[in-house]
Structure 1
Amino acid sequence: MLLNNRIKAFVELGKFLKQFKSTGYEKVNTVLYNDDFFDEMILKINTAEHHNGWFTKENVVFAIEQWADALSEKNLKEWLSSYQLDTIPCKTIGIVMAGNIPLVGFHDFLCVLISGCKVLVKQSSNDDQLLPFLTSYLVSIAPELNESITFTKENFKDFDAIIATGSNNTARYFEYYFGNVPNIIRKNRNSVAILTGTETREELEALGEDIFRYYGLGCRNVSKLMVPQQYNFDSFFEAIYPFNIIINGNKYANNYDYNKAVYLMSNYKLLENGFLMLKEDKSYSSPIATLFYETYTSKETLLTTLEKDEEKIQCIVGNNITPTNIDFGTTQKPKLTDYADGIDIIQFLSKIK
């Protein structure tokens, strides 16, 4: 299948997804195969929370909007322009997907297919509804893709390389079973925000999006703050107050109550506002409804800490503190070039013999 045809298929998928927005759904007559898929897509969105209590309609639609924006012809061609895709051999790539946020494995899926390889997908049961449905749409656009996409619930067979995402514990399992083939094995990572005390209210409110989107379950969600000594959290708490409705979610509220009880019984010192707890901790992976923080004495010591812990960090949010930091409010709006763990999947595929 020619590259231009693969691009066209994903562009059409992007047009299909653009109909489903947080401001409402609008059926566009020019979208291909809309009569076959539009109503069922609404059903998939509305029932997502029944399959996974964390997948609220708001969060599912947010994920859809990000991919609708990404899958434009302009974005796809700019992304792929730096690669020699015609040199990548047609291999079968197994993908073990996580299930922490909606469509979390879609970027891996896209990279493999757009490169001309075949994909063998094993999904998490927490996120196994949307991708097979969107695959059906893709195959309607480009029937040739059908022979390149396989979903399985069994152990992988007949594959040339593996992309597997999981926890630190499952990574050991992946390394044992897949260590003899080319692989990308992802472990736990979390994101941090660097505050200096000079942030505007708008920036701190945008940081709330980085913290609370998807209930904080994504590796790109900010789970820790790096703050100067004697930092006053009053402005931070005031700015994130509009996110207080998150406590209305039963699963989030239950985690908040449980973790607060554990902290109090352990006599930990906490700062909290009724929907988020702040705990001083050197770790990066904070529990749901909790944000860790750590103080720094200088920019130099801060950068040393971040460099030492770089394998634990997915994103750094801040105002020109590090060469790679990103803007407040953008962690859950990655570009096509934003590869998880900084590993370029297209380059990885190009090196498979």
Structure 2
Amino acid sequence: MTLNTRIDAFSELGITLQNYIESKNSSSNFSQKLTNVIRNSEIQNAWFAQSQIHNALEEWSKALTKENLSNWLQTYSFDQFVEKRVAVVMAGNIPLVGFHDFLSVLISGHDFIGKLSSNDSLLIPFLAEELIAIQPKFKSKIEFTKDRLPQFDSVIATGSNNTARYFEYYFKNKPHIIRKNRNSAVVINGTESKEELEKLGDDIFKYFGLGCRNVSKLFVPEGYDFDSFFKAMYKHREVINHHKYANNYDYNKAVYLMSSVKLLDNGFLILKEDEQFSSPIGVLFYETYSDQAQLEQRLKNEKENIQCIVGKSELADVGYGQTQHPKLSDYADGVDTIDFLTQKDI
């Protein structure tokens, strides 16, 4: 297959997803099958609420256009290309989180071997079937497994900091990308409008805060009045109606109260002053700052732990409400996947 053939196939998949998003009640065979897969995914993993899966599908329907794919790939050279078998150990924290690696491997012309997460084992294989229906030549290039990986040439693996150490050892003799835990932060300067803070709520609550691009840490000016922040968060109050989120919120609140930890709480979100970046579900950590230069140095020191920084200051790289709308070129952990996949010695 040529690169243009691969682009055409994925853009056709994007059109199919767009049609589904725009007419969820369609009686087409694809729509009925996808609806069933979405329901079964929620049964398999209660964090995958149907609304959250629809969010992920809508994002990919917008990303997989011929223009987006072509613009994304135009800066890369495929002259040195040698077809390889690339294994991908997939995460399962949010719906379709492994799809970018699936896309990257196949759009580069390699064979894809996916080690599925037990938390997300239905959605990507289903979309792979649709891709094969669109372009049958992909059939011999896609393989999924829930067990030991078959023979492969290189690997992309995503996991926790603990599993990353295992990956580093296990895959040390193979070309690899190993991703670890990361979290996102926001720098608030106190001039934010209600609309901006409401958009920040999307960065916090979408996918229940389980994604590496979800904001888990606030930096606020000394003396910051959280009243406007909590008023803006009220728009997202329905999150507490999800039983797993509510259970986590209640548990973390009880632990903190028993330890006499000082908290700010609005009934569905807890704020705790803490220097760490990775907060529990239902909790946001925050720090205060008075010196912009010191804050900049603090963020530089934590660069390896931060996926993106939200806000409207020079320190931010993502605007309010944009963390869960990444471009195809917004690579996880800042590691260029396509550059890795186009190296002749991978």
Q: TM-score, normalised by structure 1?
A: 0.95
What are the within-5 Å matches in structure 2 for residues 163-174 of structure 1?
163-174=156-167
Report the number of matched residues.
345
1:25 is aligned to 24
**SS where residue 94 of structure 2 aligns?**
coil
In 1, Cα distance between the equivalents of 2:228 and 2:308? 23
**SS where residue 143 of structure 2 aligns?**
strand
* Two-structure CA RMSD over aligned residues (Å): 1.2
In 2, Cα distance between the equivalents of 1:153 and 1:39? 26
2:94 is aligned to 101
- TM-superposed CA distance for 1:62, in Å, is 0.3
1:215 is aligned to 208
1:7 is aligned to 7
In 1, Cα distance between the equivalents of 2:296 and 2:81? 38
1:198 is aligned to 191
Tell me if the contact between 1:182 and 1:352 (Cα under 8 Å) persists in the aligned partners.
Answer: no
2:16 is aligned to 16
**SS where residue 138 of structure 1 aligns?**
helix
Q: 1:327 aligns with which of 300, 319, 329?
A: 319
Tell me if the contact between 2:80 and 2:343 (Cα under 8 Å) persists in the aligned partners.
Answer: no
- TM-superposed CA distance for 1:24, in Å, is 5.1
Q: 1:341 aligns with which of 330, 333, 339?
A: 333
In 1, Cα distance between the equivalents of 2:19 and 2:106? 24
Tell me if the contact between 1:276 and 1:289 (Cα under 8 Å) persists in the aligned partners.
Answer: yes
**SS where residue 240 of structure 1 aligns?**
helix
**SS where residue 97 of structure 2 aligns?**
coil
In 2, Cα distance between the equivalents of 1:252 and 1:270? 18
Tell me if the contact between 2:187 and 2:313 (Cα under 8 Å) persists in the aligned partners.
Answer: no
**SS where residue 162 of structure 1 aligns?**
strand
Residue identity matched to 2:256: Y
1:175 is aligned to 168
- TM-superposed CA distance for 1:84, in Å, is 1.1
Distance of aligned partners of 1:240 and 1:318 in 2 relative to their CA distance in 1, 3 Å threshold = same
Query: Which digits, 9 at most, give the CA deviation of each residue in 1:305-349, with x for residues without a partner?
Result: 000000000010010322x51100010011101000111001111
2:179 is aligned to 186
In 1, Cα distance between the equivalents of 2:44 and 2:25? 25
Q: 2:142 aligns with which of 144, 149, 164?
A: 149
Tell me if the contact between 2:117 and 2:146 (Cα under 8 Å) persists in the aligned partners.
Answer: no
Q: 1:57 aligns with which of 32, 50, 72?
A: 50
- TM-superposed CA distance for 1:86, in Å, is 3.8
In 2, Cα distance between the equivalents of 1:334 and 1:4? 23
- TM-superposed CA distance for 1:53, in Å, is 0.3
Distance of aligned partners of 1:170 and 1:352 in 2 relative to their CA distance in 1, 3 Å threshold = farther
In 2, Cα distance between the equivalents of 1:284 and 1:20? 37
2:222 is aligned to 229
Q: TM-score, normalised by structure 2?
A: 0.97
Distance of aligned partners of 1:242 and 1:263 in 2 relative to their CA distance in 1, 3 Å threshold = same
What are the within-5 Å matches in structure 2 for residues 301-312 of structure 1?
301-312=294-305
In 1, Cα distance between the equivalents of 2:74 and 2:276? 39
1:259 is aligned to 252
- Identity of paired residues, percent? 55
Between 1:214-223 and 1:295-304, the stretch displaced more is 295-304
Tell me if the contact between 2:39 and 2:50 (Cα under 8 Å) persists in the aligned partners.
Answer: yes
- TM-superposed CA distance for 1:26, in Å, is 5.8
